[in-house]
Amino acid sequence: MSDIQITLPDGSTKSVPAGSTPIDVAKSISPRLADDALVARVNGDLYDLGRPIEADAKLEILTPRSNDPDALFVYRHSTAHLLAAAVMELYPETKLGVGPPIDNGFYYDFQRATPFTPEDLEKIEKRMWELQAKALPYARIMTEKNDGLSKYKEDWMKCELIQEKADATFSEYTLGPHFIDFCRGPHLPSTGKIKAFKLLSVAGAHWKGNEKNPALQRIYGTAWFNKKDLDAYLAKLEEAKKRDHRKLGQELDLFSIQELAGPGLIFFHPKGGRVRKILEDWMRDQYLARGYALVYTPHVMRRDLWKTSGHANFYSENMFTPMELDDAEYQLKPMNCPGHILIYRDKLRSYRDLPVRLGELGTVYRYERSGTMHGLLRVRGFTQDDAHIFCTPEQIESEVVNCLEFAIDVLKTYGFDSYEAEVSTWDGGASGKYDGSADQWQLAENALKRAVESLNIVAKVMPDEAAFYGPKIDMKLVDAIGRKWQLSTVQFDFTLPRRFGLEYIAEDGKAHQPLMVHRALYGSVERFFGILVEHYAGAFPVWLAPVQAVVMPITDRQLEYAQTVAKKLDDAGVRVHLDDRKEKVNLKIREAQLQKVPYMLVVGDREAAEGTVAVRNRKHGDQGAKPVAQFIADLQALVESKAVTE
């Protein structure tokens, strides 16, 4: 048997017999490396540790210490198979769907007539640990496609996957006597490598995510290399539950979703409405200060407009059913951009008019499937802080820089100090799925990359992740407990200017097509509101708080003075509530604390006599007595600075 050359990550080489496996190489390097090994990377591809290497190759052995996301990906994928094996042992009548790794864990879809219960999850997890203790091997076998279709003829999901995805010969993985599944792998060598996991929940799902397909049950779990990381993640989940905007939205009386009106449609209550007004007023003021023109476009427009834009074809499944009116079919708008384009197109533009920046807080309507909606974060009706910029090629880079500076200012203003950026690019035209010429893509991508570099933003390039109509930059904020949220987007569009025949007269006296940029910074007001609720656990900074102070007379003797204090605060622009109930002041304080009001102002006989208030802060407790004017001045300074701490 001839030898092959294995190149290791440090550049050194080893000569081994052809057909040697990654685990053979690991053993020759170090027993500890072999013991810790999870999976291998061979010439950039992931390999099972027992898979033969037949030719010269570059080899990496991945372990829990590698800090490599691929290692954790395989680890979680193998844990998903462990889950499925346990289910098949306990409930052999079950049919298997798919079981991929996901961010922070894994899931597996099952078809079973009887719903899984919390007690079932406990049994399944217990059986998973029993299988883990047996160190069962993940065995890879190769199967001819026709043999596989024949073997699984009673299992419609497997047959469908094999028909669609399998090569003439495909890989399957077994785990114990009851589990085998069509899977590309790779996997861990055995269940004994899995050290920390937890089943989390069961939810409804549909085959391939299509609600017209059969209903399935999806079991979610999480898996980590060690118990410490698992416990940290579970603690984070518990903290996330406490911060859930749906729970806090109800407790703080901020918003609701009314069954009579329908799912995915948000009702902002008076307190939530106050916060929303602040968000919208700040954004509109910023528009005007940064050279945007404010526009307003209709909520419903003729369907012909959406045919011209292309939405009626490529976006129809996310649009509500058109409505018949006297003269034509009309459509609730899913996007604001066609309306802004019509405003731009309404008159002849010169290069001297450009850039034209049109901004709107426009409400749009999209048909989200019933299983996908989630509080404020995924809804059917929402308001986008939408803007569209029409400019010349010479202006594009500075316009993108301005958009990014605006996006960073949004993050900082609302207390988000940590964020990430991604630049999504095309595939160079290889697939033919992208619109626009190579010159347009090069111009746009270079503008995005230079804009990022000029602001010293570290951005991850995402090849072949652009929209079909242009490249984009996405900004992801990191919240108080380390979660990432997609927020701002700056998106080129080569398609709509062409579809609508947009022009401007350039210096050469000829008509040219302007460049167009879509730009949203909140993303949507509803979603951003929900993110803020969770980031601050409902305790908004003073400048955003729906109620900034509660005045609390101790007895009826101080009621008149309390009313005077409340009026002074109200006249000064403070959002104040007078709690004049005939209740003990400790109860009033406790309830205001639960409502996360920043300041509680207690007034008794001494305060009434001295013209002061006893100040209590929701975080820091008693702060002593202050003259009313001093308290107002201090609070106004906090509001003016938009401080996120008190």
Q: Which residues are tagged catalytic? A: 337, 366, 384, 386, 388, 472, 518
State the amino acid at position 415 in one-letter form: G
DSSP, residue by residue, 470-536: B-EEEEEEE-TTS-EEEEEEEEEESHHHHHTT--EE-TTSSEEPPEEEEEESSS-HHHHHHHHHHHT
Bridge partners, 516 (sequence order):
390, 493
Omega within 30 of 0 (cis) for the link into 64: no
Bridge partners, 174 (sequence order):
139, 180
Bridge partners, 492 (sequence order):
517
Q: Alpha carbon of 578 to those of 168, 540, 547: distances in Å?
A: 76, 20, 10
**How remote is the C-alpha of 545 from its chain's centroid?**
25
Bridge partners, 172 (sequence order):
141, 182
Q: Alpha carbon of 292 to those of 121, 281, 392: distances in Å?
A: 54, 14, 16
Phi then psi dihedrals of residue 583, to 5 deg: -125, 160
- Could you tell me which residues come within 8 angstroms of residue 275 by beta carbon, excluding any fewer than 6 positions away? 254, 529, 532, 540, 544, 545, 546
Sign of dihedral through CA atoms 459, 461, 462, 465? positive
State the amino acid at position 420 in one-letter form: E
Q: Alpha carbon of 535 to those of 239, 376, 383, 478, 485: distances in Å?
A: 11, 14, 20, 9, 11
Rounded Cα distance between 225 and 338, Å, is: 49
Rounded Cα distance between 88 and 124, Å, is: 10
3-state helix, strand, coil in the chain (%, to 5): 40, 30, 35
Angle between helices 525-535 and 270-289 (to 10 degrees): 110
Helices vs strands, H then E, count in the chain: 20, 33
Closest CA to 512 of 359, 394, 386: 394
Q: Alpha carbon of 56 to those of 17, 47, 272: distances in Å?
A: 10, 15, 64
Whether the Cβ atoms of residue 91 and residue 99 lie closer than 8 Å to each other: no
Whether the Cβ atoms of residue 440 and residue 428 lie closer than 8 Å to each other: no
Q: Alpha carbon of 336 to those of 243, 435, 445: distances in Å?
A: 32, 21, 24
Give the DSSP letter of residue 336.
S
Rounded Cα distance between 105 and 115, Å, is: 22
Q: Alpha carbon of 489 to those of 239, 358, 374, 406: distances in Å?
A: 28, 16, 21, 11
Rounded Cα distance between 367 and 41, Å, is: 42
Whether the Cβ atoms of residue 26 and residue 37 lie closer than 8 Å to each other: yes
Say how many residues make up the chain. Answer: 646
